[in-house]
C-alpha cells in the first residue's frame, strides 16, 4: 500500500469498515467520492464453503459519514467469485460485506450508528442529518426508524418488564388525512415501582382499540406475556378486555388519576345541572355554585379559611345545592382513601365509598348514581391499586414529555417519524446507541 493510501485510510478511518482507499474525487455537488477495495475478502462459497475463483468486481455505492464537513459516497469494489465445485447450486457469488453495510442498505453500518447518535444524543433534526449526509429525508428517517425498532424488539429493550402501563395519546390534531390521530402508548413502569429509575417508553402503536393492544401483546411472545404481573390503565374497556384475554394472570389496575378524574367530571355535571335548575342560566361570576367551581376540586385540607367559608356559604345558600354537597363529599372521600398512609386502611375506605354509592341513592343524585354504577363494575381494578401500588402516574408524565416534544417540533405529520422521535426522546436508548 502506498503512503498516500495509508494517510487517506487513517483520515477517513476506512479500515474500520474493512476497506482501503484506491482513489478519491470531489464532484460538482460538493460530495466527496471515494473508491475503495475490500480488505481480505472471504472467497468461500456460501453454499459449499469451498473457496472459489475470482471472476471480477461489482461496484456498490454507499453513503458514509461526512468527512471535513462534506458528504461522502463510497464506491466499494466488491469481489465476485466463481464456484468451481461440481454439484454446488451456486455458480457465481459476491464476497460477504455485511460488516461494511447491511444487505440492500444504501449507507454503511457506521453511518446508521452516526444517524442515531445525531438524532438521539445531539438532538439534530432528520432534515439536518439528511443534509449532512447528502441523502433524502425519507431515507434517513426510515433508517433511524428501523434501527430504533430493532433495538426495541431485538435488542433487549423489553427485558425485565413486569409492570406495564397502557394509555391512549393524541399525536396530531389535523383532520382529513385518513389515518388515526390516536396511538396506544406502552410504558415500562418497573423501574418506577422498584425505585431504580424513571419509567420508560416501550412502544407506540397506531390506533386505540382492543385489537391494537391485543395484536401487540401477541407479537411480543409468550415469554414476555408470562413476565407481566401488573397492567395499569384508564377506564377504557377495550384495553381491559385485551389484557384480560392475553394476560389472564396479570392484575389489572385502574389508575387513581382516572378514577378521581371521573368523579370530578360527575361533580362538575352535578354542579352545572343544579346551576341551571336554580338560576335558569349558565354560571355567572356572582352565582354561588359558579364561584366555587374550582374550590370544589381542591382538597379541603388545602383550602384557606376564606375559601372554606365561601364553600360552606355557597353549598348552604339553596336547598337544591345539597346534591352538589353530597357529590363533593364523595369526591373528597375518594381522594382521602388514595392519600391514606396505610394502603390497607385506604382500601377499606374506598370499598365503603363504592359500596355506599353503587345503588339505593335517593332521587336527585343522578350523576352520583351513574358514577357509583360505573366504579362498582370496575371495583376489582380500582381496589387492586392498594395491593400493588402501581399507577399510571409515570405514564401521564411520559405523555407530558411527548406533548412537549410535539410542541418543540411544531407538530408532526409522519407517524413513523413521531414514533422514532418519541422512542429516542423517552425510551432511554441513548446508552445503548453509544454502545453500538
Q: How many CB atoms lie within 10 A of CB 183?
A: 24
Statement: residue 3 has pLDDT above 50: no
- Read off the C-alpha cell for 256: 387513581
- Read off the C-alpha cell for 52: 472459489
Mean pLDDT of the chain: 88
Q: How many CB atoms lie within 10 A of CB 295?
A: 17
Statement: residue 342 has pLDDT above 80: yes
94 and 80 in contact (C-beta within 8 Å)? Answer: yes
Statement: residue 257 has pLDDT above 70: yes
| CA distance to 39, 148, 166, 232, 412, per residue, from 423 (Å) | 37, 7, 15, 20, 14
Task: Give the integer Cα–Cα distance in Å for 325 and 277.
Answer: 15
Q: Across the chain, which distance is largest between two alpha carbons, in Å?
A: 102
With bands split at pLDDT 50, 70 and 90, how would you rate the model's confidence at 245?
very high
pLDDT at 153: 67
Q: β-strand 53-67 against 163-170: which pairing, if any? A: unpaired
Q: Return the HEC string of 65-101.
A: EEECCEEEEEEEEEEEEECCCCCCCCCEEECCCCCCC
With bands split at pLDDT 50, 70 and 90, how would you rate the model's confidence at 144?
confident
Task: Give the integer Cα–Cα distance in Å for 388 and 279.
Answer: 46
pLDDT at 142: 87
The percent helix, strand, coil of the chain (3-state, each to 5) is 50, 20, 30
Question: Of 105, 29, 21, which is closest to residue 70 (Cα–Cα)?
Answer: 29
DSSP symbol at 231: E
pLDDT at 214: 94
Which range, of 59-73, 195-209, 382-396, 406-420, averages the lowest pLDDT?
406-420
Question: Of 94, 99, 102, 97, which is closest to residue 43 (Cα–Cα)?
Answer: 94
Task: Give, for 324, the enclosing helix (H) or strand (E).
Answer: helix 322-339
Q: How many CB atoms lie within 10 A of CB 68?
A: 8
Task: Give the integer Cα–Cα distance in Å for 205 and 168.
Answer: 10
Statement: residue 106 has pLDDT above 90: yes
pLDDT at 48: 92
pLDDT at 213: 94
> Which tens digits make up the pLDDT trace of 24-49?
898 888 889 999 999 999 999 999 99
180 and 208 in contact (C-beta within 8 Å)? Answer: yes
Q: How many CB atoms lie within 10 A of CB 28?
A: 5
Q: What angle do CA 379, 191, 242 make, to 5 degrees?
A: 40
> Which tens digits make up the pLDDT trace of 287-336?
999 999 999 999 999 999 999 999 999 999 999 999 999 999 999 999 99
With bands split at pLDDT 50, 70 and 90, how would you rate the model's confidence at 1?
very low
> Which tens digits make up the pLDDT trace of 350-385?
999 999 999 889 999 999 999 999 999 999 999 999
Cα dihedral 396, 402, 404, 406 sign = negative
With bands split at pLDDT 50, 70 and 90, how would you rate the model's confidence at 419?
confident
pLDDT at 178: 57
- Please give the backbone phi and psi of residue 163, each rounded to the nearest 5 degrees, phi first: -115, 120
Task: Give the integer Cα–Cα distance in Å for 177 and 46.
Answer: 47
pLDDT at 317: 92
Statement: residue 173 has pLDDT above 70: yes
pLDDT at 397: 87
Residues 6+ apart with CB under 8 A from 429: 120, 148, 151, 157, 423
pLDDT at 2: 41
152 vs 256, higher pLDDT: 256
Statement: residue 237 has pLDDT above 70: yes
* Mean pLDDT calculated for residue range 63-73: 91
Amino acid at each position: 500500500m502506498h503512503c498516500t493510501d495509508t494517510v487517506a485510510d487513517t483520515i477517513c478511518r476506512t479500515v474500520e469498515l474493512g476497506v482501503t482507499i484506491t482513489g478519491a474525487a470531489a464532484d460538482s455537488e460538493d460530495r466527496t467520492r471515494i473508491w475503495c477495495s475490500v480488505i481480505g475478502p472471504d472467497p468461500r462459497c456460501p453454499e459449499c464453503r469451498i473457496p472459489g475463483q475470482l471472476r471480477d468486481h461489482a461496484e456498490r455505492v454507499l453513503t458514509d459519514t461526512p468527512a471535513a464537513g462534506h458528504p461522502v459516497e463510497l464506491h466499494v469494489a466488491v469481489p465476485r467469485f466463481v464456484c468451481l465445485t461440481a454439484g454446488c447450486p451456486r455458480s457465481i457469488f459476491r464476497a460477504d460485506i455485511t460488516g461494511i453495510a447491511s444487505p440492500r442498505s444504501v449507507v454503511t453500518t457506521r453511518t446508521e450508528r452516526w444517524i442515531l447518535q445525531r438524532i438521539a444524543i445531539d438532538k439534530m433534526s432528520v432534515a439536518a442529518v439528511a443534509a449532512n449526509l447528502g441523502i433524502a429525508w425519507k431515507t434517513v428517517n426510515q433508517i433511524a426508524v428501523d434501527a430504533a425498532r430493532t433495538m426495541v424488539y431485538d435488542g433487549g429493550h423489553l427485558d425485565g418488564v413486569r409492570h406495564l402501563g397502557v394509555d391512549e395519546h393524541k399525536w396530531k390534531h389535523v383532520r382529513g388525512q385518513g389515518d388515526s390521530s390516536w396511538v396506544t402508548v406502552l410504558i415500562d413502569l418497573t423501574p418506577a415501582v422498584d425505585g431504580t429509575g424513571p419509567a420508560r417508553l416501550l412502544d407506540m402503536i397506531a390506533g386505540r382499540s382492543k385489537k391494537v393492544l391485543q395484536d401487540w401483546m401477541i407479537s411480543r411472545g409468550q415469554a414476555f406475556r408470562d413476565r407481566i404481573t401488573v397492567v395499569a390503565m384508564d377506564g377504557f374497556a377495550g384495553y381491559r378486555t385485551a389484557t384480560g384475554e392475553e394476560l389472564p394472570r396479570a392484575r389489572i389496575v385502574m389508575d387513581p388519576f382516572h378514577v378521581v378524574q371521573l368523579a370530578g367530571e360527575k361533580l362538575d355535571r352535578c354542579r352545572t345541572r343544579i346551576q341551571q335548575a336554580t338560576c335558569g342560566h349558565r354560571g355567572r361570576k356572582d352565582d354561588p355554585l359558579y364561584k366555587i367551581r374550582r374550590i370544589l376540586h381542591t382538597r379541603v385540607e388545602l383550602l384557606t379559611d376564606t375559601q372554606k367559608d365561601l364553600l360552606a356559604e355557597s353549598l348552604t345558600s339553596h336547598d337544591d345545592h345539597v346534591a352538589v354537597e353530597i357529590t363533593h363529599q364523595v369526591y373528597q372521600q375518594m381522594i382521602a382513601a388514595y392519600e391514606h398512609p396505610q394502603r390497607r386502611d385506604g382500601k377499606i375506605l374506598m370499598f365503603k365509598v363504592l359500596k355506599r354509592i353503587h345503588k339505593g341513592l335517593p332521587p336527585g343524585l343522578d350523576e352520583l348514581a351513574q358514577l357509583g354504577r360505573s366504579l362498582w363494575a370496575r371495583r376489582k381494578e380500582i381496589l387492586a391499586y392498594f395491593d400493588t401500588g402501581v399507577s399510571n402516574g409515570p405514564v401521564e408524565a411520559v405523555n407530558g414529555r411527548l406533548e412537549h416534544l410535539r410542541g418543540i417540533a411544531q407538530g408532526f405529520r409522519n407517524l413513523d417519524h413521531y414514533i422514532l422521535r418519541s422512542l429516542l426522546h423517552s425510551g432511554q436508548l441513548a446508552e445503548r446507541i453509544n454502545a453500538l
